[in-house]
């Protein structure tokens, strides 16, 4: 396989998988034949062939992707229409799961990960009371010298 055939093969990956499976090999062979003819005709013909291949890629690949998406949506719509109650339960379950996950992450981020408001250098914060005296101390801090555990 020549370098130009390999480049064209990579361009074929812009097309959807099912389209590539059905037509990719024939497109590759046809391009190689046209490329040989264009090389015999001159450099301008080869450049025109590559321009035509790029134009086809820009115009045909999006249409083929849309065709595959439309088929997938039709395939999904049939059972959804047949059992709307089941579809509603699935959609609500997904919505609740995504919403709960977002809420929990937001809470975790705001309490554990976000910087304290108005504190420029959080490593210089200190405790002014003795938590061990009131019985609230439950562990140690890695950045402190006075690790105290009752």
Domain borders along the chain are 3-99
pLDDT at 3 (0 to 100): 86
The reply to whether the predicted model has a pTM over 0.75 is no
Helices (H) and strands (E) in the chain, counts: 4, 0
77-96 residue pLDDT tens = 998 899 999 999 999 999 99
35-81 residue pLDDT tens = 999 988 888 998 999 999 999 999 999 999 999 999 999 999 998 89
Supply the DSSP symbol for 87: H
Long-range contacts of 144-148 (CB under 8 A, 24+ apart): none
pLDDT at 112 (0 to 100): 80
Contact assessment for residue 50 and residue 32, using Cβ atoms and an 8 Å cutoff: no
């Amino acid at each position: 396989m020549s370098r130009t055939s390999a480049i064209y093969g990579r361009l074929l990956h812009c097309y959807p998988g099912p389209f590539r499976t059905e037509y990719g090999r024939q497109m590759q062979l046809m391009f190689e034949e046209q490329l040989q003819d264009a090389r015999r005709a001159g450099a301008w013909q080869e450049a025109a062939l590559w321009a035509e291949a790029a134009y086809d890629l820009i115009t045909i690949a999006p249409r083929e992707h849309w065709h595959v998406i439309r088929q997938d949506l039709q395939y999904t719509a049939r059972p959804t229409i047949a059992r709307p109650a089941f579809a509603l339960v699935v959609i609500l379950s997904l919505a609740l799961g995504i919403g709960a996950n977002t809420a929990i992450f937001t809470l975790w981020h705001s309490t554990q990960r976000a910087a304290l408001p108005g504190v420029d250098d959080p490593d210089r914060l200190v405790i002014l009371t003795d938590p061990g005296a009131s019985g609230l101390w439950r562990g140690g801090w890695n950045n402190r010298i006075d690790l105290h555990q009752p």
